[in-house]
Amino acid sequence: MLNVKITTIDTPRKRKARETIPLVVSPSSLSLFRECRRKFKLKYIDKLVPEAWEDAEPLSFGKLIDLAMELRNDGADWAVVLAWLDSECRDRATDPQLAERYARAVALLRGYAEKYQSDTWQFVGVQVQVEGNVTNPDSPRSKGAKFVSFAGWLDGLILWDGQLWVYELKTTSRIDGAYLDSLWQAPQTGLYALYTERTLGIPVAGVLYDICQKSSAQTVRRDGETEDEFEARAAELRSINKSGKTTAKRQIPESWDEFTERLVSIHARPEMYRREAIPITLDRLAAVESDLWMQSRDMTTARQQGTFYRNDRSCLSFGRECEYLALCRSNMSPIIQQNLYRRIDEQRTEIVNDLTHAALAISAHAAN
């Protein structure tokens, strides 16, 4: 039996009001519009998210690395970064999943610190917002798209050899030619450069990607065996040995510290990290601006005509179901929506100042 929730009715007048609110797009939402218009609408216009997301772990591995590196790039030394990580994962003694995430994060950060002991650039901004109108490149005097504007968050801005570069941190399961080619072709690369120039009024030389490869999921902590398990295995070995003896030894469980050090040795390999500097040309900026203008017109038309059709290929992409598949299968049933999804207002929380305060607090505590 479905437990139907009482929610505010979404009337045609309310939907019409939402459709006239200017849509602020980002590289992620633009990519999703190209992937599946239906999913784009549900996520960025209707602002629906699965109820299951409330039960998801709030601090994933990627978020841990992002926050730790933001703290580092904002001026904290590595001791403060690792102390912050230790504090954030303080419940790992009773949570094996958190303990594994902590071990992998420590190994990645220690490997990064060892490889890049001194950088030749200076951070001039961390978590920087860039924004602006979407304009028609063929009509410079136009005010831009009426219902679409652009906004993005940069991981950082750096001064490198006297030039301004956008800095982006990436974690990936594999660094290979295909991944690097995707960065060169990614719309995000050109969009960030274009709107950094528009926001700051300063030319951007390019985008520097700091890429970190995660340790393989197949590398897991060894559980070892209990005394009873060892005795059973040893008895079996003795029974098949002519001498009735065995030299087998009990497999001792690997401690979390031992597992961390094993991961650290993996991250000592040079191929686990790479920096890719992508210069930005005027031709690239012109092409990005043109593509964005055409896509903004498609978005405006889609909103006006309600043509947010589904792309069946994205329903089961990357080996997993789309989070909105249940809603699509039900033909957008209000009952399914009310029970499995909730509407939210997207808000971004400033985290750099919080991290800065945390760093000061940790440093003060260490001094005492």
200: domain CATH number is 3.90.320
Domain membership of residue 5 (yes or no) is no
Same domain, 326 and 315: yes
Domain membership of residue 198 (yes or no) is yes
Total number of domains constituting the chain: 2
277 CB-contact burial (10 Å; exposed 0-12 / middle 13-18 / buried 19+): exposed
Distance CA 320, CA 316 (A): 5
Instruction: Work out the percent of the chain whose per-residue pLDDT is above 90.
Output: 57
What's the confidence (pLDDT) of residue 222? 79
Residue 298 domain boundaries: 12-218+257-367
Distance CA 187, CA 278 (A): 12
Amino acid at 113: A
Half-sphere exposure of residue 126, counting CA atoms within 13 Å on the CB side? 20
Same domain, 244 and 290: no
Same domain, 209 and 242: no
Same domain, 134 and 248: no
Asked if residue 146 has pLDDT above 80, the reply is: no
Helix axes 27-35, 282-305, angle to 10 degrees: 60
Same domain, 247 and 101: no
Same domain, 54 and 20: yes
Same domain, 203 and 238: no
Global pTM exceeds 0.85: no
What's the confidence (pLDDT) of residue 344? 80
Same domain, 49 and 156: yes
pLDDT band at 180 (very low <50, low <70, confident <90, very high): very high
365 CB-contact burial (10 Å; exposed 0-12 / middle 13-18 / buried 19+): exposed
Domain membership of residue 2 (yes or no) is no
Q: When comparing pLDDT for 45 and 361, which is higher?
A: 45
pLDDT band at 356 (very low <50, low <70, confident <90, very high): very low
Boundary residue ending a domain (239, 254, 269): 254
Same domain, 231 and 197: no
pLDDT tens track for 304-346: 898 999 999 889 877 788 989 999 999 999 999 988 898 886 4
The DSSP result for 9-52, as a single string, is ---HHHHHHHHTSPEEE-HHHHHHHHH-HHHHIIIIIS-EEEGG
Same domain, 160 and 176: yes
Domain membership of residue 3 (yes or no) is no
The pair of structure tokens assigned to 52 is: 């299951």
Domain membership of residue 213 (yes or no) is yes
Same domain, 142 and 30: yes
Domain membership of residue 1 (yes or no) is no
Distance CA 49, CA 60 (A): 18
